[in-house]
Amino acid sequence: MIKNKRELVQEGFANCVEYNANGTVKTTSIKQALSTAPMNPPINFAQITARDFMTWIVSMKKPNGNYHSFAAYAGHRSAFFNLFQDYHCVMSAELVRELSSHFKGFQHNVTSAVSQGRGQIKVGKDPMTIGLYKRVALSMLENSSRDMIFARLFMIMSWNLMSRAANTTSICYGHLEWRDDALCVYFAHMKNDRRGSRPRDPRHVYANPLSPEICPILALGVYWATYEVDASATHLFPGNDQYERFRKVLGRVLESSSISKELERRGNLATDIGTHSMRKGASTYCSSGSTACPSAVAVHLRAGWSMGGVQDRYLRHDAAGDMFVGRTVSGLPILKPEFASLPPHFVGGEAYIKQAKQICFPSLPGSVEFVAEFALASLVYHLEFLRAKLPQNHPLFQSALFADNRYRRDEYATYWYSATRLFVERNTSRKE
């Protein structure tokens, strides 16, 4: 607009942005200038017309001349409406009416182009299937990079919580608690609940001892055993821009030879999978991954979706429904008795367990001490699996659990299948 419609740009805004050598405006300087809203408005809101905006919208195409998805154009329209609000300006009724009319016609043009193969038929990223999810998680586990340890926990938590990456990033230690046989995670607010006015019901996250590569409790134990936690830290994933960090690591894994070949075999590209794919995949798996799926209401509530109208007031959260969703999304076999598996846990020896937690997870906040007990039990229970799958230079083998002989010869964990009342106890062999 600064280049082609300079008369619509406020002079003060045009003077405060920075330009590249070729005369184009630097994107970062525009963002910085917009951050001062409602001061220094970027355009003359009284003069801009629907024709001006639609001219810009229609010019937005891919390098090959094809249209983007209509959702991308709709997002820009929403941003245009929001720009008026940010600068305390009221959009005229005539402008609203003209934009609505023009967009309906533009949508028909985009749909017609897509039907002729000149556009993107899929909207957004593809959902991650349960098979691809397991494969990516195992690939991350078999890598010795600390970034992979972080990314694996981030991905597994996002999958199990059906959460947006932004919500996973915001998880604090104060949002975690262990209740009965599940890890409970609370969200203070979500994208469609900015003020946090909805009931803050916990999401139940369950261990999966049958598929340790995707077990969230084991992933948490590996993460805490290899990352030194700052006692003053409040977030599970401390640091700036953890979302971007995860996005880059996930991209590297998807572009690795083993995963990219599998995607190619399925007719997909690494760019088809993104940070939102776990949320899409988990909700799809819970809703249609079996003939005995959890109810749609329970899945909607866990994912934080609005059901609209009176349904939001009458169909409320209940722990039993979320527990069913939690066990299903964890990957436990829904049609087998093992669906009721309990997490690996210690039996007796409280003093010894407390000492082990202090050595293996130093500086963990006291609010997650009970969670740490199950994370440690999961590590101990899966020792043989970890030794078989992890490379020898993996950071976990440098942790106290493997470095101290006391914790290699006298650890034990148990789990049972409550549906069959079968109790199984497993002890590692003693080495003199």
Nearest-5° angle of CA 61, CA 65, CA 68? 40
326 closest CA partner among 160, 152, 208, 181: 160
Q: Are 18 and 29 in contact (CB under 8 A)?
A: yes
Host H or E run for residue 204? strand 203-205
CA angle 153, 159, 162 (to 5 degrees): 130
pTM: 0.78
Which residue ranges in the chain fall short of pLDDT 50? 407-432
Q: What is the pLDDT of residue 311?
A: 63
9 CB-near residues (< 8 Å, 6+ apart): 1, 2, 42, 43, 44
Question: Which tens digit of pLDDT belongs to each residue from 160-174?
Answer: 999 999 999 999 999
The alpha-carbon radius of gyration of the chain (Å, integer) is 26
Distances from the Cα of 187 to the Cα of 48, 67, 175, 234, angstroms: 41, 37, 7, 14
Collapsing DSSP to helix, strand or coil, 153 comes out as helix
**Amino acid, single-letter form, for residue 323:** M
Euclidean distance between CA atoms 21 and 42, whole angstroms: 22
With beta carbons less than 8 A apart as the criterion, state whether 209 and 215 touch.
Answer: yes
- Classified by CATH at the fold level, domain 130-431 comes out as hpI Integrase; Chain A (1.10.443)
Phi, psi of 413 (to 5 degrees): -145, 160
In the chain, where the domains are located: 6-116, 130-431
pLDDT at 423: 26
